[in-house]
């Protein structure tokens, strides 16, 4: 569509005027000139050729300290976190059946690593590191991947020169770079007897939907019918916050994931452990109230005094019923 659409009312006979308008952009007198100083504060992007890298430098050794203090908690001591994105490993795996995509295995330019950390990390407080610290931690992440030696110092000259393992692994794909691009996959608009045999080759495992998503009938509007449907078995009394909501309200989720252990066990693992155990409710009530360690590891749970007795019972019922999320 032409960017002079708003002049589309002009008749074809006035096409020449249209061209004249296109040649001379109109000045609306809006906006203000941006000063060099204003631009400098915001213009943080770094290109693969190194354009945009700031003054400063940082060594692998300095980077280790920055990393330990600001990054390791999430990305793992060796950049090998399972919980958050891993920053190291996977080199050579991209063509395999189980590709591991990391800075080391997939990224093509070290300048992009600098650019990204500088704008978006550390996750809770982006843009809190100095240029020297970003150089240093970028050097350290490259060293974790064995891409640079331990005495490497990152700066405006050295970073663009780093050869990443996957430097040549990217290809522009013209088929999707413009509306006129030639597609790579072709189907035909056959209308009759198009397939000889049709077989279902993939489906969700039995019980998967109930286990992961709970009762999904309420994902649909109930209006399409006058049918009588029984309420789902075991549904929480409407109105009261669910056990699940209470674990969020009282901050349990800071230490417990539904299906992932964080500091404490995953709620679904707790459910599995106590399945069929008639004493579970009593044990867990006391344990959560008083805190303690030893069942899942040496890290103790602090005493939890937030939830009322009724709420705690609701939480425990929810956990023991499989910790289903809405």
Q: Which residues bind ligand HEC (CB under 6 A)?
A: 70-71, 73-75, 84-85, 87, 102-103, 113, 116-117, 121-124, 137, 141, 247, 250-252, 254-256, 263-265, 270, 284, 287-288, 292-297, 299, 301-302, 304, 306-307, 315, 319
Q: Which does 153 bind (CB under 5 to 8 A by kind): ligand HEC, other proteins, none?
A: none
User: What is the C-alpha radius of gyration for the chain, rounded to an integer number of angstroms?
Assistant: 29
60 binds, among other proteins, ligand HEC, none (CB under 5 to 8 A by kind): none
Of the two residues 169 and 303, which places its CB atom closer to other proteins in the complex? 169
Closest approach, Cβ 161 to other proteins, in A, equals: 16
Residue 293: asked if its preceding bond is cis (omega within 30°), the reply is no
**Taken in order 315, 316, 319, 324, is the CA torsion positive or negative?**
negative
Angle formed at CA 109 by CA 43 and CA 161, multiple of 5 degrees: 95
Among 106, 136, 143, 252, binds other proteins (CB under 8 A): 106
CA 86 to chain centre: 12
Which of 171, 279, 302, 309 contacts other proteins by CB under 8 A? Answer: 171
Pick the binder of other proteins from 119, 163, 273, 283 (CB under 8 A): 119
Q: With contact defined as beta carbons under 8 Å apart, do 127 and 63 qualify?
A: no
Decide the pairing of beta strands 153-155 and 57-59: antiparallel
> By CB under 8 A, what part of segment 192-221 binds other proteins?
192-195, 198-204, 209, 212-213, 215-221
The distance of closest approach from Cβ of residue 135 to other proteins in the complex, given in angstroms and rounded to an integer, is: 17
- Segments in 86-130 forming alpha helices (H): 103-106, 110-120
Q: Which residues contact 299 (CB under 8 A, 6 or more apart)?
A: 263, 264, 293
Q: How far is CA 169 from CA 86, 94, 95, 109, 269, in A?
A: 20, 10, 11, 11, 41
* 57 lines the binding site for other proteins (CB under 8 A): no
- Residue 28 binding: pick among other proteins, ligand HEC, none (C-beta 5-8 Å cut-off by kind): other proteins
- 287 makes contact, choosing from ligand HEC, other proteins, none, with CB < 5 to 8 Å by partner type, with ligand HEC
Task: Give me 209's structure tokens.
Answer: 């939907």
Residues in 64-103 that interact with other proteins by CB under 8 A: 83-84, 94-96, 99, 101, 103
Write the DSSP string, 95-163: TSSS----HHHH---HHHHHHHHHHH-SGGGTT-S-HHHHHHHHHHHHHHTTSS-TT-EEETTHHHH--
Considering the complex, what minimum distance in angstroms separates the CB of residue 303 from other proteins? 27
* Min separation Cβ 303 and ligand HEC, Å: 9
Task: Give yes or no for residue 283 binding other proteins (CB under 8 A).
Answer: no
Cβ atoms within 10 Å, residue 119: 13
- Candidate segments 9-17, 231-239, 272-280, 284-292, binder of other proteins by CB under 8 A: 231-239
Of positions 54, 56, 57, 108, contacts other proteins by CB under 8 A = 108
Which residue in the block uniquely carries the two structure tokens 């005094």?
Answer: 305
- What residue 122 binds from other proteins, ligand HEC, none (CB within 5 to 8 A, per partner kind)? ligand HEC
Inter-helix orientation angle 309-320/280-290, to 10°:
130
Residue 298 interacting with other proteins (CB under 8 A): no
Query: Judged by CB under 8 A, which of 20, 38, 77, 299 binds other proteins?
Result: 38
């Amino acid at each position: 569509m032409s960017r002079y659409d708003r002049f589309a009312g002009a008749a074809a006979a006035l096409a020449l005027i249209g061209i004249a308008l296109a040649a001379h952009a109109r000045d609306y007198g809006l906006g203000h000139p941006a000063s060099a100083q204003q631009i400098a504060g915001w213009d943080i992007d770094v290109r693969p050729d190194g354009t945009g890298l700031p003054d400063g430098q940082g060594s692998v050794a300095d980077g280790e300290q920055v990393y330990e203090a600001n990054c390791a908690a999430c990305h793992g001591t060796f950049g090998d976190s399972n919980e958050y994105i891993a920053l190291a490993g996977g080199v050579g795996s991209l063509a395999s059946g189980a590709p591991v995509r990391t800075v080391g295995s997939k990224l093509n330019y070290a300048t992009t690593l600098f650019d990204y950390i500088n704008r978006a990390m550390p996750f809770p407080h982006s843009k809190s590191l100095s240029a020297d610290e970003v150089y240093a931690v970028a050097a350290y992440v490259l060293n974790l991947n064995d891409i640079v030696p331990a005495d490497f110092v990152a700066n405006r000259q050295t970073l663009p020169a780093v050869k990443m393992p996957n430097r040549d692994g990217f290809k522009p794909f013209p088929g999707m770079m413009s509306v006129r691009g030639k597609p790579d996959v072709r189907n035909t608009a056959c209308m009759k007897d198009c397939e000889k045999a049709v077989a279902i080759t993939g489906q969700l495992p039995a019980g998967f939907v109930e286990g992961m998503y709970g009762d999904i009938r309420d994902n649909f509007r109930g209006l399409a019918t006058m049918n009588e449907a029984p309420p789902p078995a075991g549904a929480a009394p409407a109105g009261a916050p669910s056990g699940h909501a209470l674990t969020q309200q009282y901050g349990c989720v800071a230490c417990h994931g539904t299906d992932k252990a964080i500091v404490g066990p995953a709620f679904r693992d707790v459910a599995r452990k106590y399945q069929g155990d008639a004493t579970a409710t009593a044990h867990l009530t006391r344990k959560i109230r008083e805190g303690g360690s030893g069942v899942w590891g040496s890290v103790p749970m602090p005493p939890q005094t937030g939830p009322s007795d009724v709420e705690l019972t609701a939480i425990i019922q929810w956990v023991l019923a499989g910790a289903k999320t809405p």
